A and B are shown apart, each in its own frame.
Chain A
């Protein structure tokens, strides 16, 4: 992956972000005796983080770069 495009790099970053947000130990931060609109904070957090990651991915791939997709670039042979 030496020739990774900006979109590629953003996606890898989002993957890592997703791994971080949707995993221990960050989940512990939201295990509180609190509710958001009556729904336990932990549940709200997990779904919110999940949707956020998806939204960011959508933003990255839909906006994209004009020279994408990667690997499709014509090569001189």
Chain B
């Protein structure tokens, strides 16, 4: 059973038409400002342009030969995606800042806008990618052949291959026409193709769905699930071998080199650069793409092994090419619709690759190869050519046709001899040559133009010699002796065993030698040469893209007439676009009614960057230079500019540092100031309270003295009474002043402490004796309970005594005379000795408990009742206790007495010698 050729053609054309419609809508919506691709999912899907027919057809073929040997090609991009966060983001940042539109442009721009370098990269890219294009042509041509052939006859693969040469040319021409329609409809200054990206994302969906459907059909339609397939395969020794690692060629080195190769490919394939960097609309999309894209790779590879094993089980070895299983299996089972859909999937894989790759290559060929040549020949300067955007489009279209025809040529020359994957790997090895100059350019300032040239040339030559030429030789276009015995029979020059290096597969072999030559020349020549002016400036701009791109100075002085500059832009970008650019620049800068006649360096740079978007950095540089009177810079000038810049950067860093320090200092000062204000307020309070407290006794002393003074007739008993009051008040005044002075000394830390080891039991006894009179007078019972054998503490005897007497006196004062009871207890708690003085007086109200230890706060209503003390006893006591490392506190239930307790740290086995020392500071 086979499919009708007309039907296949209709389906293919219909599919291409659908793509075109999607691209058209995408472009229209982009123009209207409602971009369809401003979405991380679309970005991630469009990145899947990585999966070509190599993946769609070739992976199965590779798996049928090497088991999981097809996987490194997808593991590499997964690993690289993890690093995209740094590498790709930097690439995007650099490219958008410099209007870079291709790899060639990137390399040329980085190394001083070198036309030579841009041209070289373009040539390497075109030559390197041609086999890859050939792969797509071969795959589509073969797939058409398969659909047209009759699978019932014995040789599905052979029959297809015989005729596929003819199809390949048609496919190439069709794809060329389609790409021209698609990608070069108009010249876009930004080189962005939103419609194309939308179509590519759609194609990624189509190929994924098609492949998964075939996978599901094979796994569950032909067999009874994956377990069934692998169980059957296990019975064939040859198939069983595929489930082991020995099937994977090259082992350690082979696996690692394929991973490395694909890591380079995902970054440096022209189409990947186009999609990932040039077409990126928002670098934040990366954070989704770094996991969606690898997940896509997993999904499209999930069924590779089941299809490969299923095909091998169904078709006897060699009868059907494993590269065609995806089509041959549904076809063999008579599932024509599924086969046709699989064909569309393969077609979408091929067209996506071809469209993006050829657009990227045509941009390079036009901007970095043809333009510089035309400029050299002086063809673009003739006044006759007014608007060159048509010429540019023409060049690009020519380049697209050229690339596809080269692909066809390679397919005819070498395509038959290799499986799909092997052809693709040749291209991967070619683009890997870009890795050193690209990565070096982004992270190493000292890479020079000459180093990049040397590295690329060396790597490219080694690649050509060890991989490309052998592929021709195997196809019979070069004598096989060349492969077997080397150039002129020198065996050391055998291209696949260079210098006698054997034991590696050809890809690993090529990768090793070419990267060795590449990196060696790049680094070596860079280190032993000196970078030019432009290279240094661009190097800074690229390497410091994240940190200080805006700080890179203008290494350039010159001026041009504004009209000439405008004329130039009009010629390459068209009038409308050029005028718009000037207008927007004018708005930015603030030209009002009229623009100046002379363009300054900033405007010239701006114009050059806009132009670079259309024709590449190197060509833009050359063209702008033609209308600018440039003042050459001497090396001294450059050094001065560099010094100034680095000095400015250093100053700015220093300034940032200083300002941070200043902020910290300010914060400290503010805190200190707050504290001082608080202290000041406290001092004011204190002074006013003290004055008030002093005035009360003074007032009564004065009042009674005055009475005695004014009235000499006062009788003796009254006189005695008044004089008694005066004496009492004077004593109180003295006590008050003593206390105030004492507290001031304590607080200022100027108090003298005579610290000795003393036994608290003695203190208790002495204090009880000293206050005995007071208790007896008020008829209050005092009970002492000492529950320790010894109570040694290190403290000032007089001070501790003062505290204890104060507490006892307070207790005596507040108890009711007659019925009062005070209990004094000395006991030991862990590490401390604690003294409790408990009374059965009225207690202290809840709200007073918290500030009874403040200065001049006394329990009870001081307004109505006559104060019974100075109000300083407790604060002083607390200061003293805390100075010795103890605590003084109050527990009280109003109505049933109060307990004042204090602790002092116990001192065991202490030296008995008295210690006299000054207090170091406030005891707090």
Seen from chain A, the residues whose Cβ lies within 8 Å of a Cβ on chain B are 1, 7-8, 11-12, 14-15, 18-19, 22-25, 27-28, 31, 35, 37-40, 42-43, 46-47, 50-51, 53-55, 57-58, 61-62, 64, 69-71, 75-77
A37 contacts across to B, CB distance below 8 A:
226-227
A51 contacts across to B, CB distance below 8 A:
295, 298
By the criterion CB–CB under 8 Å, are A31 and B252 in contact? no
Measured CA separation A8–B243 after assembly (Å): 37
By the criterion CB–CB under 8 Å, are A15 and B79 in contact? yes
A24 contacts across to B, CB distance below 8 A:
245, 251-252, 255-256
Looking at chain A's contact residues, the main secondary structure is helix
B617 contacts across to A, CB distance below 8 A:
none
- How far in angstroms is the closest Cβ of chain B from A62? 7
Interchain Cβ contacts under 8 Å between A and B, 15 examples? A12-B83, A27-B245, A31-B245, A38-B231, A42-B244, A43-B243, A50-B78, A50-B298, A51-B295, A54-B298, A57-B290, A61-B85, A71-B89, A75-B547, A77-B548
Measured CA separation A64–B287 after assembly (Å): 9
With both beta carbons as reference points, the residue of chain A lying nearest to B651 in the complex is identified as: A77
Pick from A12, A25, A55, A76: contact of B656, CB under 8 Å: A76
Closest 10 CB pairs of A and B: A38-B227, A71-B546, A58-B291, A40-B243, A15-B82, A61-B287, A54-B294, A24-B252, A76-B656, A18-B79
B71 contacts across to A, CB distance below 8 A:
46
B305 contacts across to A, CB distance below 8 A:
43
* Count, A-B residue pairs, CB within 8 A: 112
Measured CA separation A23–B79 after assembly (Å): 11
By the criterion CB–CB under 8 Å, are A57 and B81 in contact? yes
With both beta carbons as reference points, the residue of chain B lying nearest to A49 in the complex is identified as: B75
By the criterion CB–CB under 8 Å, are A38 and B78 in contact? no
Looking at chain B's contact residues, the main secondary structure is helix
B655 contacts across to A, CB distance below 8 A:
76
Measured CA separation A14–B82 after assembly (Å): 7
With both beta carbons as reference points, the residue of chain A lying nearest to B292 in the complex is identified as: A58
Is B230 in contact with chain A by the CB < 8 A criterion?
yes
Pick from A7, A25, A38, A69: contact of B228, CB under 8 Å: A38
By the criterion CB–CB under 8 Å, are B82 and A57 in contact? yes
By the criterion CB–CB under 8 Å, are B85 and A77 in contact? no
B17 contacts across to A, CB distance below 8 A:
none
By the criterion CB–CB under 8 Å, are B226 and A38 in contact? yes
Is B709 in contact with chain A by the CB < 8 A criterion?
no
With both beta carbons as reference points, the residue of chain B lying nearest to A19 in the complex is identified as: B79
- How far in angstroms is the closest Cβ of chain A from B783? 67
Chain B window 563-595, contacts with chain A (Cβ cutoff 8 Å), 1 for yes, 0 for no = 000000000000000000000000000000000
By the criterion CB–CB under 8 Å, are A15 and B83 in contact? yes
Pick from A1, A27, A53, A75: contact of B78, CB under 8 Å: A53
By the criterion CB–CB under 8 Å, are A23 and B255 in contact? yes
Measured CA separation A35–B229 after assembly (Å): 12
Is B479 in contact with chain A by the CB < 8 A criterion?
no
Pick from A8, A23, A58, A62: contact of B86, CB under 8 Å: A8
By the criterion CB–CB under 8 Å, are B68 and A46 in contact? yes
By the criterion CB–CB under 8 Å, are B75 and A39 in contact? no
B295 contacts across to A, CB distance below 8 A:
51, 54
- How far in angstroms is the closest Cβ of chain B from A14? 5
Known: A19-B79, A27-B245, A39-B227. A1 touches B291 (CB 8 A): no
B82 contacts across to A, CB distance below 8 A:
11, 14-15, 18, 53, 57
Is B551 in contact with chain A by the CB < 8 A criterion?
yes
A31 contacts across to B, CB distance below 8 A:
244-245
By the criterion CB–CB under 8 Å, are B298 and A47 in contact? yes
A46 contacts across to B, CB distance below 8 A:
68, 71
Measured CA separation A53–B71 after assembly (Å): 15
Measured CA separation A76–B550 after assembly (Å): 12
By the criterion CB–CB under 8 Å, are B85 and A8 in contact? yes
Measured CA separation A57–B659 after assembly (Å): 38
With both beta carbons as reference points, the residue of chain A lying nearest to B550 in the complex is identified as: A77
Is B259 in contact with chain A by the CB < 8 A criterion?
yes
Chain B window 631-674, contacts with chain A (Cβ cutoff 8 Å), 1 for yes, 0 for no = 00000000000000000000010011001000000000000000
Measured CA separation A76–B225 after assembly (Å): 62
Is B284 in contact with chain A by the CB < 8 A criterion?
yes
By the criterion CB–CB under 8 Å, are A43 and B68 in contact? yes
Seen from chain B, the residues whose Cβ lies within 8 Å of a Cβ on chain A are 68, 71, 75, 78-79, 81-83, 85-86, 89, 93, 225-228, 230-231, 243-245, 251-252, 255-256, 259, 283-284, 287-288, 290-291, 294-295, 298, 302, 305, 546-548, 550-551, 652, 655-656, 659
Measured CA separation A40–B245 after assembly (Å): 12
A50 contacts across to B, CB distance below 8 A:
75, 78, 294, 298
B79 contacts across to A, CB distance below 8 A:
15, 18-19, 22
By the criterion CB–CB under 8 Å, are B86 and A1 in contact? yes
By the criterion CB–CB under 8 Å, are A75 and B548 in contact? yes
Residue from the set B256, B295, B656 with the largest chain A CB neighbour count within 10 Å: B295
By the criterion CB–CB under 8 Å, are B89 and A69 in contact? yes
By the criterion CB–CB under 8 Å, are A54 and B291 in contact? yes
Measured CA separation A27–B83 after assembly (Å): 23
B83 contacts across to A, CB distance below 8 A:
11-12, 15
B284 contacts across to A, CB distance below 8 A:
69
With both beta carbons as reference points, the residue of chain B lying nearest to A61 in the complex is identified as: B287
Measured CA separation A53–B82 after assembly (Å): 9
Residue from the set B288, B291, B298, B656 with the largest chain A CB neighbour count within 10 Å: B291
A12 contacts across to B, CB distance below 8 A:
83
A55 contacts across to B, CB distance below 8 A:
291
Measured CA separation A28–B255 after assembly (Å): 13
With both beta carbons as reference points, the residue of chain A lying nearest to B259 in the complex is identified as: A23
Measured CA separation A33–B78 after assembly (Å): 28
Measured CA separation A51–B291 after assembly (Å): 10
Known: A23-B259, A35-B230, A42-B244. A61 touches B290 (CB 8 A): yes
B652 contacts across to A, CB distance below 8 A:
76-77
- How far in angstroms is the closest Cβ of chain A from B45? 16
Measured CA separation A75–B78 after assembly (Å): 33
With both beta carbons as reference points, the residue of chain B lying nearest to A40 in the complex is identified as: B243
- How far in angstroms is the closest Cβ of chain B from A35? 7
With both beta carbons as reference points, the residue of chain B lying nearest to A30 in the complex is identified as: B245
With both beta carbons as reference points, the residue of chain A lying nearest to B74 in the complex is identified as: A50
With both beta carbons as reference points, the residue of chain B lying nearest to A43 in the complex is identified as: B305
- How far in angstroms is the closest Cβ of chain B from A61? 5
With both beta carbons as reference points, the residue of chain B lying nearest to A55 in the complex is identified as: B291
Pick from B259, B291, B551: contact of A57, CB under 8 Å: B291
Measured CA separation A77–B901 after assembly (Å): 63
Known: A11-B82, A57-B290, A61-B287. A42 touches B245 (CB 8 A): yes
B551 contacts across to A, CB distance below 8 A:
77
A14 contacts across to B, CB distance below 8 A:
82
Pick from B243, B283, B287: contact of A62, CB under 8 Å: B287
By the criterion CB–CB under 8 Å, are B256 and A23 in contact? yes
With both beta carbons as reference points, the residue of chain A lying nearest to B81 in the complex is identified as: A57
By the criterion CB–CB under 8 Å, are A38 and B225 in contact? yes
By the criterion CB–CB under 8 Å, are B546 and A70 in contact? yes
- How far in angstroms is the closest Cβ of chain B from A55? 8
Residue from the set B251, B284, B294, B659 with the largest chain A CB neighbour count within 10 Å: B294
Known: A8-B85, A47-B302, A61-B287. A28 touches B245 (CB 8 A): yes
Residue from the set B83, B85, B228, B298 with the largest chain A CB neighbour count within 10 Å: B85
B225 contacts across to A, CB distance below 8 A:
38
- How far in angstroms is the closest Cβ of chain B from A9? 11
- How far in angstroms is the closest Cβ of chain A from B484? 31
With both beta carbons as reference points, the residue of chain A lying nearest to B443 in the complex is identified as: A1
With both beta carbons as reference points, the residue of chain B lying nearest to A31 in the complex is identified as: B245
B228 contacts across to A, CB distance below 8 A:
38
By the criterion CB–CB under 8 Å, are A54 and B78 in contact? yes
By the criterion CB–CB under 8 Å, are B244 and A61 in contact? no
